Amino acid sequence: MAPLIDIRNVSKTYVTGTFRVEALKEVSIRINAGELVALVGPSGSGKSTLLHIMGFLDRPDAGEYFFAGHPTASLGEGRLAAIRSRMVGFIFQSFHLLKRTSAKDNVMLPMVYTGLGTNSQKALDCLKLVGLADRVKHRSNELSGGQCQRVAIARALVNDPLVVMADEPTGNLDAVSRQEVMQVIRDLNARGLTVVIVTHDDEISAMTHRVVRLKDGAIVSDETRVPETAVAAAAANLPPARMSFSPSEFLEQLKVAFKAIWSHKMRSCLTILGIFIGVGAIISLMTISEGFMKSLLSGSSEDDAKKVWVTPAWEHGRTPRRFVMGDVEAIKAQAPLAEKVTPILARDLKISAGDKHISSGVQSREGFDLAEQKPRDKFFENRKMTGRFFTKEENLAKARVAVLNRTLAKKLFESGGALNEEIRINGISFTVVGVAEDQKAEQIFGGRPTAYIPLNTAAKRVFGANRLDYIEVTAPTPADAPEARRQIIMALRAQRGTREGAEDDFDVKTFEAQIEMFKSTMGKLSLVVYSIAGISLLVGGIGIMNIMLVSVTERTREIGLRKALGARNMDILSQFLIEAVVLCVIGGALGVGLGFGLGWAAYFFIKVPPTLSTGTISFAFGFSTLIGVGFGFWPALRAAMLDPIEALRYE
């Protein structure tokens, strides 16, 4: 049967700039299963290079390597990772234990990369085998050097390897620990384990059965001290490459990600700041505008949707032509869908009460129809009132009665008791008969002080002109509003004698058009906020990439170790991707909180409760994940592509 390790004419040359080092020159060596072999020689003689090639951490430039009878030259990265994972155990001079991690978790690490699930009992058995049953929960920084190395030996054993490769395993230990560790290795060998040790310590090599001496990249002697007693032949199939991810690996990766983030709290916080602010800005805008839409639509009844407003055209840059009662009559006569036509007079005037003078809007209304028990226009129907609205009769009698909105009432009479008080509009005294709650829109945009007085009173007594400011028309149903609008335009053009093709000197808007206008204003505002948020997210993403690159560099040796224990490139890639995504998702989650918080802060100014929909939340998380993957990919790829032995040697 074939020897376990059969190396034939293997060469390895390192090129550094113009400098070439032939680390191995056509070396051939066979090692059988069950042997305990020491590779010795002066520093730089090629011992480590040979060991790394034997352990599949490095590939030869030339020559052949048969492992357990199989040629290995054409094996891909995945197969090599599988062999490292399940057939080879490594022990290093500097232990390479994971920091701040318990002995047991360190020993369990190689199981993550087998894809066969983890088994903590097996880890405990291995720790017992190296005499550390009582140190299971100790962390690497709570163990002595000798104990650390014994943990590393247990870790090398946990996947039942065919061979253990040890690179100067006692190099960092004191004399007592050296003896202990060597005794453990000899015991394991006595149980049938094949061990290859690189050492320059004669005392150590004296404890092995076979000493292979190297010099300048070549084997100069090979002595077997003890007759080959139990030289078992090796026969094993090489494991296939692992194709999938196991749940235990995913859990381990999540654990590692959280640990890495947690152990650099400050750094992580600063890193996610950009994502936090970017997502926060987007979410606050989304919640506020969604809240706006919701409250606008809920605050507007079907009556609003039926309304059509006729206003002077302001945009032509000249004094707008105001409406006269003739226009109202024309609409009434020629627009059949104009069910209710309400002329409105409005001015900005000073209103006084006692020594208080408030400049306010004064609007006129036709008044309450006592017969119908309803206001003549629907303006006040949905509004809470204290007191009453003025009547149709008061309108006809040009009575000096007024209804104030809440904002004006508060400004004039701080105590709030405005009812039956006297006020002066334009020097003419009025009696306050009612106070109306602010309209929904006033509540949203901040109420403007407004007084409502009868139309006739306004026209004849206050404004001194019967020119109307605008006309409110109500269509029979919301669906009729656009047609009513068309009819009103026709009627007004005819009434005013507008020539064919000439522009209208008035505007007619439906409720729907108002909502559309609001939406488009909102859209423009969103564009600004989204671009700011976009820049913040971009900066945040670059921050993530930057910190991930730092993290990869800091953990280069850990990456090397994981690869030596059988991690595939994919395992490393996904580990760093997961870390980037976890960072971003934390930033995103906090950002959602910030956005919602800002939404509530805005509530105090605009009185619209923010709305957080599941769509918004999933958008935030989807977006954060995307940023994590997008900006984490390059650092993760750099980590995945690291050469295992280069990574292990990284200082």
Contacting residues toward ligand ADP, per CB under 6 A: 14, 16, 21, 23, 41, 43-49
**Nearest distance, CB of residue 288 and ligand ADP, angstroms:** 58
Q: How far apart are CA 593 and CA 402, in angstroms?
A: 46
CB of residue 14 to ligand ADP, shortest distance in Å: 3
Which of 53, 481 has the CB closer to ligand ADP? 53
Let me know the angle formed at the C-alpha of 182 by 38 and 200, rounded to the nearest 5 degrees: 40
Cβ(10)–Cβ(28) below 8 Å: yes
Cβ nearer to ligand ADP, comparing 13 with 569: 13
Contact 183, 189 (CB under 8 A): no
Alpha helices by DSSP H, listed for 130-200, are 145-157, 175-190
Q: Give least dist CB 638 to ligand ADP, A.
A: 18
Q: Which residues contact residue 511 at a Cβ distance below 8 angstroms, ignoring those fewer than 6 apart?
A: 300, 304, 305, 306, 307, 308, 478, 481
Per residue in 1-21, is it b (16+ CB within 10 Å) or e — as a string? ebbbbbbeebebeeeeeeeee
Nearer to ligand ADP, 585 or 648 (CB): 648
Nearer to ligand ADP by C-beta: 147 or 208?
A: 208
φ, ψ for residue 11 (rounded to 5)?
-125, 150
DSSP 538: H
Name which of 62 and 502 has its Cβ closer to ligand ADP: 62
Q: 387 - beta bridge partners?
A: 434
For ligand ADP, give the closer residue by CB, 46 or 115: 46
* Smallest gap from residue 38 Cβ to ligand ADP (A): 13
Shortest Cβ 218–ligand ADP spacing (Å): 11
In the bound state with ligand ADP, the residue whose beta carbon lies nearer, of 41 and 644, is 41
Minimum distance from residue 25 beta carbon to ligand ADP (Å): 11
Calpha distance 478→84 (Å, rounded): 75
Instruction: Tell me whether residue 49 or residue 170 sits nearer to ligand ADP (CB atom).
Output: 49
- At 351 the three-state DSSP class reads strand
Return the number of the residue (218 or 238) whose C-beta is nearest ligand ADP: 218
Instruction: State how far the Cα of 224 lies from the Cα of 36, in Å rounded to an integer.
Output: 10
Least distance from ligand ADP to the Cβ atom of residue 15, Å: 8
CA atoms within 13 A on the CB side of 372: 12
Q: Would you say 27 and 218 are in contact if contact means Cβ atoms under 8 Å apart?
A: yes
Closest CB to ligand ADP among 223 and 646? 646
Q: How far apart are CA 253 and CA 266, in angstroms?
A: 21
Would you say 184 and 131 are in contact if contact means Cβ atoms under 8 Å apart? yes
Beta-bridged to residue 351, according to DSSP, are: 358, 425
Other CB atoms within 10 Å distance of the CB of residue 157: 24
585 touches 636 (CB < 8 A): no
